[in-house]
Amino acid sequence: MDQQNKPRPAPTPEEIARLEAEAVAALQRGEEPKRPEPQMEAPSSAEAPGQAGAEAPVEANPQPEFVPYVDDVVPQPKADGNAPDEDDEEYIPSKWEERVNALTDRQWFWTQIVGGALLGLVALAILYFGSDELATYRMVVAALLALLLPRYIERVIRRDLAIARRAMLVALVVGLAITFLVIGARNGFNFTKAQ
């Protein structure tokens, strides 16, 4: 006759804490944490085969209870919305990051507006000042400056520059519109004739 296998009961908080502590210790030693095999309880003497009595139906595939392990835990984002770092305890902020973190929200908002607008005007100046033979290269430099410099600054200060990017875009669009109007006014808004 078949023996009835019962899944073991859910682990207690003490068992979970012990398993987590063992896994953390193994990780600190540089080893892979050991995962215990799911254990099934042996049938009690009342349920032993060959005894008289009604037998309970046997589950075809008994599933063990889920036991969380250290590497099963998904790291939660930090309070500021950034992804958690593995070495947060040892992290020392840069002087730029400290300066930015010392700003109030209002100061940070206006700093982004002014910085983004200045960056947009610098990219516009790169586009329009210089020889016509290097126009293609100037456009590539302006595009790289507008795309990569904000990313680099974000990594250094570990804060989002979304407002600065919008301010840069507005400065570029306004600058291009003014340039278009100035050049158009010089030519009588006839853009087909050469200068």
> How do the pLDDT tens digits run along the chain, 195 residues long?
445 566 667 778 888 888 888 888 888 887 777 766 655 555 555 555 555 555 666 666 666 665 555 555 555 556 665 655 555 567 788 888 888 889 899 999 999 999 999 999 999 999 888 777 888 899 999 999 999 999 999 988 888 899 999 999 999 999 999 988 888 888 787 767 555
Note whether residue 86 is domain-resident.
no
Please tell me the distance from the alpha carbon of residue 45 to that of residue 75, in angstroms, as a whole number.
Answer: 45
Note whether residue 9 is domain-resident.
yes
Please tell me the distance from the alpha carbon of residue 128 to that of residue 122, in angstroms, as a whole number.
Answer: 10
Domain with 107 in it: 94-186
Is 52 found in the same domain as 118? no
Is 25 found in the same domain as 105? no
Is 168 found in the same domain as 121? yes
Is 55 found in the same domain as 23? yes
pTM equals: 0.50
Is 102 found in the same domain as 158? yes
Residues 6+ away with beta carbon under 8 Å from 13: none
Please tell me the distance from the alpha carbon of residue 47 to that of residue 57, in angstroms, as a whole number.
Answer: 12
Is 132 found in the same domain as 171? yes
